[in-house]
Structure 1
Amino acid sequence: MIEFKNVSKTFRLGKREVHAVKNVSLKVSKGEIFGIIGFSGAGKSTLLRLVNMLERPSSGSVLIQDIDVNSLSSKDLRTRRRNIGMIFQNFNLFNSRTVAGNIAYPLKLAGLSKKVINTRVEELLQFVGLADKAKDYPDQLSGGQKQRVGIARALATSPDVLICDEATSALDPETTADILRLLKKVNKEFGITILLITHEMHVIQSICHKVAVMENGEVIESGDVFDVFTDPQHSTSQRFIQSVQQDLPSENILEDWRSKGGKKLYRVIFKGEITNNAVLSQVTQKHQVHFNIVYGSIRELQEKLFGNLLISFEGKTEAIQNALEELKTIVNLEEVAPHES
């Protein structure tokens, strides 16, 4: 659906060159919700702007449905842009137009009849839950309602791609959850491919199928959300994930554990169906070893179970070692130094 092939974007600021995007290659399949996450200055916003050619790549290609959008004529590019909806952090609504007027705006630009426009606006107001707000103005709306108007306007021309630029970062947690549910509804009911950028990992966790982590203009890690969350390879990915996992104990808990003679601590990660099995009990009983769960949780991620536990073991040294070796064949297990937790 969307493919970045060795894409780079360089800006010149006076005598200095800024490499905003560096040799990025990514594929976004049709119907996916694909998240791009990174700290400020990572290059994610620039990467999004390359999709509809608000910025043109310095090198490489951006393909949408196998068409290099950088090679399109001005006329064809305008047509292509009508198939790409955009949702913005700050809503970008016209304060002088009503809710209905804002949604109708792209339809008027497309030259559609008043009857067609009115029908489409009514459909979209119903879809986003604002049927009673048609005659209100943006200043009369809450932040969440404004973003619903933004989503309705982005959907007006029936796009096949929806670009979300930090669409929830100006909203409170409860409203953010509502907007994310609405975006999932958009994806499910219309099959629209959604490409979103964010600096909030809980957004990625909530709705995305795949994720790419950016740093200094480069994609440092990408893949299925479940895989990246449960086994992050890069330190930046680990930092983002830790911001939502909250699965490490405080230093006070660790100090208490150490004061009671705790020496070695192990992280045990369960994925999928294995989470429902009594693996720890079975293996430790077999080797006559006792285990103690110091900290951790089991939760659902992308409709799969994921357990992340910190465990200590008691028993004879050889028995513990044998139990650990067997556990490593069943689950992900690693020793964690107490001071690093």
Structure 2
Amino acid sequence: MIEFKDVSKTFHLGKREVQAVKNVSLTISQGEIFGVIGFSGAGKSTLLRLVNMLERPTSGTVWMHGVNISTLSAKELRAKRRNIGMIFQNFNLFNARTVAGNIAYPLKLAGYSKQKIAERVNELLQFVGLEDKAKDYPDQLSGGQKQRVGIARALATSPDVLICDEATSALDPDTTSDILRLLKKVNRELGITMLLITHEMHVIQSICDKVAVMEDGEVIEFGNVFETFTNPQHPTTKRFISSVQQDLPSQEVLREWQDKSNNSKLYRVIFTGEITNNPVLSQVTKRHDVDFNIIYGSVQELQAQLFGNLLVSFTGESANVNQVLTELKTLVQIEEVNIHES
């Protein structure tokens, strides 16, 4: 559907060169919600602008539906962009136009008849839940309502790709959840492929199928969201995931526990899939005459699968504890936690 092949983008700022994107290769499949996450300056927004050629790659190629869009003429590119909708962080609505007028704008540019425009605008207002706001102006709307207008406008010309540039970062948590549900509805009911740029890991967790993590212009980790959350490889990815999982208590709580437990070792145990429903810890420790204590953790749902992340200590004879650890490693992910580094 969308493919980046060894794409780089270099900006020249006076005598200085800035490599915003470095040798990125990614494939986004038809109908996917694909998330790109990174801290400020990671290169994710530049990558997004390469999809619709608002920026052209310095090297490498960008493909869409089997067409190398890097080589399209200005006229061909204008036609291609009608198949790409854009949703912006700050809404980018025309304050002098009504809600209906904002949604109608791309349809007018595309040469639709007045009747077709009216039909399409009414259809989209119903889809995003703003039927009663057609004659209102942006200044009369809440942030969430403005973003709904932005989504309706992006859908006006029936694109098959939707680009979301930090679409929820200007919204409060409850409104963010509403907008994410609407975006999932767009993907599910209309089959539109989405490329979503964000610095918020909970957005990736909520709606994305796959995720690419960027740092300094490079993709440092890429994969299925469930696999990335349950087994992150890069330290930056682990930082993002920790921001939403809260997988460690505070240092004060850890130190207090360590003092009371005579400096016992602490282990992170990660359960995924069906084994989350089984009493694995209880069964294994009982077999080897070892007690366990859950210090911290949770079980949550991620992409319709259960994911357990627990901090556990074990008490018993050293040889027995080692047997427990050996057996658990065949069933779940388990690793010792360095409290001081954490």
**TM-score clears 0.5:** yes
CA distance in 2, matches of 1:149, 1:5: 34
Shift of 1:256: 1.9
Counterpart position of 2:195:
195
Q: Which 4+ stretches in 1 moved above 4 angstroms?
A: none
Shift of 1:114: 0.4
CA distance in 1, matches of 2:173, 2:235: 26
SS in 2 for 1:96: coil
CA distance in 1, matches of 2:18, 2:319: 57
Counterpart position of 1:323:
324
| Gapped regions of structure 1 (runs ≥ 5) | none
Counterpart position of 2:298:
297
Counterpart position of 2:126:
126
Letter in 2 for 1:224: N
* Deviations, residues 21-47 of structure 1 (Å, cap 9, x unaligned): 000000000000000000111000000
SS in 2 for 1:115: helix
Normalised by the length of structure 2, the TM-score is 0.99
* Deviations, residues 259-278 of structure 1 (Å, cap 9, x unaligned): 21242111110011110001
SS in 2 for 1:158: coil
Residue 77 in structure 1 maps to residue 60 in structure 2: no
CA contact (8 A) 1:262 1:312 kept: no
Counterpart position of 2:37:
37
* Deviations, residues 99-153 of structure 1 (Å, cap 9, x unaligned): 0000000000111110000000000000000000000001110110000000000
CA distance in 2, matches of 1:93, 1:249: 43
| Gapped regions of structure 2 (runs ≥ 5) | none
Counterpart position of 2:181:
181
* Deviations, residues 43-67 of structure 1 (Å, cap 9, x unaligned): 0000000000000000000000111
What pairs with 1:165-314 in structure 2 (closer than 5 Å)?
A: 165-260=165-260, 261-314=262-315
CA distance in 2, matches of 1:339, 1:294: 16
Q: More deviation in 243-252 or 124-133?
A: 243-252
CA distance in 2, matches of 1:259, 1:10: 53
CA contact (8 A) 1:38 1:215 kept: yes
Letter in 2 for 1:265: L
Counterpart position of 1:159:
159
Shift of 1:70: 1.1
Normalised by the length of structure 1, the TM-score is 0.99
Residue 13 in structure 1 maps to residue 21 in structure 2: no
Residue correspondences, number? 341
* Deviations, residues 268-289 of structure 1 (Å, cap 9, x unaligned): 1001111000110110011111
* Deviations, residues 168-227 of structure 1 (Å, cap 9, x unaligned): 111111101100000000000000000010010110000000000000000000100111
CA distance in 1, matches of 2:43, 2:175: 27
Shift of 1:340: 2.5
Letter in 2 for 1:213: V
Counterpart position of 2:143:
143
Shift of 1:333: 0.7
Q: More deviation in 72-81 or 7-16?
A: 72-81
Shift of 1:323: 1.0
SS in 1 for 2:144: helix
CA distance in 1, matches of 2:324, 2:130: 58
Letter in 2 for 1:290: D
Letter in 2 for 1:77: L
SS in 2 for 1:175: helix
CA distance in 2, matches of 1:29, 1:215: 23
Shift of 1:338: 2.2
Alignment RMSD:
0.7
CA distance in 2, matches of 1:323, 1:240: 31
Letter in 2 for 1:330: L
